[in-house]
């Protein structure tokens, strides 16, 4: 019964065009919930069982607040969208409070130092993270048709919250991006000659336009080194470079550069926003470039600009 329920959940998730990462997370937590209660069907369970499951995550397993909230969101989807059960008590369950963290921001010197230890194509990807304020997934999923070299802009499709936005492409990146696009198109021609599956397309475009797999505009700017199986259909196709490989390269480069801060790919996006703010850019402009729905999210960068907190100068420095 659990297997059939999870299959139904998977179908509804795909019907709503949720991302593959969301699909995996929701199915994982639904399965964990069912196994935690001895394979009982969710229809036979209620507030006590959900609370017990979430409490176990927090108390016994010491899961982070974001993990607890992800598990709760999956159960909300399971009951409301799959089982079609409106349970008012689900709204009353207290969500784990997310702590407000100050983002890790790198100096220009630190960014330059890390870039020197990054091999191709990771060096260019990190340049886009820092130079355009991209999330790691937005950079690796970038397609040729969404790069405008003349206008020096990038179109980010289906970003966080299923939103599109336009952001800036640094002048210093344009030539390198153009060369990377040529490499991507060369790989596409190779796949066509070898009769491989071509690039992975979103939704049902592969069935509607079979030749679009080899269309230059749909190619990933950063294609994977070899074809892989498409997650939904199982067909052999060319995916983009994996996020995890970029993350490993950044971790290795920051270690070689002797950076003691906890450097992640997202730190370059934080640095992009902070350095723009320090240079005098308007907070609303930064909000649009980052794709934030609420300017209050962007305002967190005002806490780390210039010297220390809010650009304040310590009174100790005034003592001769």
Residues labelled as active-site residues: 135, 160, 266, 269, 292, 301
Tokens of 166: 């336009």
Tokens of 133: 């304020």
Q: Strand pairing of 228-229 and 165-168?
A: unpaired
Cα–Cα nearest to 83, from 186, 170, 1, 175: 1
Structural contact between residues 292 and 270, judged by C-beta atoms closer than 8 angstroms: no
177 and 134 in contact (C-beta within 8 Å)? no
CA dihedral 109, 113, 119, 123 (to 10 degrees): -10
Closest listed residue to residue 306, CA positions, set 277, 273, 272: 277
Burial class of residue 32, CB neighbours in 10 A (0-12, 13-18, 19+): middle
């Amino acid at each position: 019964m659990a297997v059939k329920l999870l299959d139904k959940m998977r179908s509804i998730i795909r019907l709503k065009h949720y991302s593959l990462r969301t699909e995996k997370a929701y199915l994982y937590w639904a399965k964990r919930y069912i196994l935690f209660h001895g394979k009982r069907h969710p229809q036979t369970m209620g507030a006590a069982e959900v609370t017990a499951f979430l409490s176990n995550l927090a108390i016994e397993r010491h899961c982070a607040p974001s993990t607890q909230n992800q598990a709760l969101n999956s159960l909300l989807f399971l009951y409301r969208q799959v089982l079609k059960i409106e349970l008012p008590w689900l709204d009353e369950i207290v969500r784990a409070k997310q702590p407000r963290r100050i983002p890790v921001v790198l100096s220009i010197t630190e960014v330059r130092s890390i870039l020197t230890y990054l091999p191709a194509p990771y060096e260019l990807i990190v340049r886009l993270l820092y130079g355009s304020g991209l999330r790691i997934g937005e950079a690796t999923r970038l397609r040729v048709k969404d790069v405008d070299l003349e206008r020096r802009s990038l179109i980010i499709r289906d970003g966080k919250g299923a939103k599109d936005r336009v952001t800036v492409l640094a002048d210093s990146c344009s030539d390198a991006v153009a060369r990377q696009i040529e490499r991507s198109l060369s790989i596409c021609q190779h796949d066509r000659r070898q009769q491989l599956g071509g690039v992975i397309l979103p939704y049902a475009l592969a069935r509607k336009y079979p030749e679009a797999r080899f269309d230059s505009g749909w190619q990933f700017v950063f294609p994977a080194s070899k074809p892989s199986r498409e997650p939904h259909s199982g067909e052999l196709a060319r995916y983009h470079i994996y996020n995890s490989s970029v993350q490993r390269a950044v971790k290795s480069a920051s270690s070689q550069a002797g950076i003691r801060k906890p450097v992640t790919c997202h730190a370059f996006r934080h640095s992009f926003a902070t350095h723009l703010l320090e240079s005098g850019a308007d907070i609303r402009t930064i909000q649009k470039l980052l794709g934030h729905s609420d300017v209050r999210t962007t305002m967190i960068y005002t806490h780390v600009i210039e010297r220390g907190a809010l650009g304040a100068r310590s009174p100790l420095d005034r003592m001769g």
